[in-house]
Structure 1
């Protein structure tokens, strides 16, 4: 697999818009830990090694445990390793990432309302949509671990 082109060089305004989304998310109503779990889980589903590598490192730097990262792919079977709130976030992440299957279900949305307000849910949706967009950029341009987006 060969890197195709540098997105920043070819479409700098598009990349600037993506950075704008990241800036919004860095100040949004969901925690940094939650954002990293979203990024890692969506990237696992999408098979984006570049993003998995980046976001697992970021998560560890921010205090996430290796055990939780190792078990993220099997969060439903991981017992009480993840909180009920985190399980809802992970369900939202999976359902939106796999939107072609059935989308965000009423059941998951209702569960989310038990723990989060509408602003937090909107921010979660934006976080999931944004990492899915990054995954698609990275996979389409064939960025490799160690490459720079810049």
Structure 2
């Protein structure tokens, strides 16, 4: 069984499509202790958070990081969790499509962008304050942890050139 953020030894590809780049390495195979620790971290980070909100955050971070593998996985997981295709499609332009999301989701998306894209070297006070208005302190810490974890997964996925297109919701044990 394939688990999250792992590719099989010979990745399956959708019919008629070839990978742009062959996979480079598999953290799950080469560093199983690191992989298992990441799974545990992922589970702990999202504990108690709304699963649909977590998937929106994971999709947005993965868009920013250009991780096709994670986009494939978390889009499918979001759809399986009941998220609408329309809201997923609008995520890449959420600031112009605010009416699709709740104020809480907007605060989480803004925080996701600030934590993911640290070009200024910090998370702006106004972004953090907006998130703090919508999430109690422990929940906010969990949200920051979930954003941090997906960013780490994205870096493994992009560096390892994990191939999207073979993930099926329910394959994941975390």
Q: Is TM more than 0.5 here?
A: yes
TM class by smaller structure: over 0.9
CA distance in 1, matches of 2:144, 2:98: 25
Q: Does 2:24 correspond to 1:4?
A: yes
Q: Does 2:40 correspond to 1:20?
A: yes
Q: Does 2:102 correspond to 1:91?
A: no
Partner of 1:119: 138
What is the aligned residue count? 147
CA RMSD of aligned residues (A): 1.4
CA distance in 2, matches of 1:115, 1:5: 39
CA distance in 2, matches of 1:79, 1:147: 31
Q: Where in structure 2 are there 5+ consecutive unaligned residues?
A: 1-20, 168-174
Displaced runs of 4 or more, over 3 A: none
Partner of 2:162: 143
Partner of 2:124: 105
CA distance in 2, matches of 1:101, 1:147: 36
How high is the TM-score relative to the length of structure 1?
Answer: 0.92
CA distance in 2, matches of 1:99, 1:29: 26
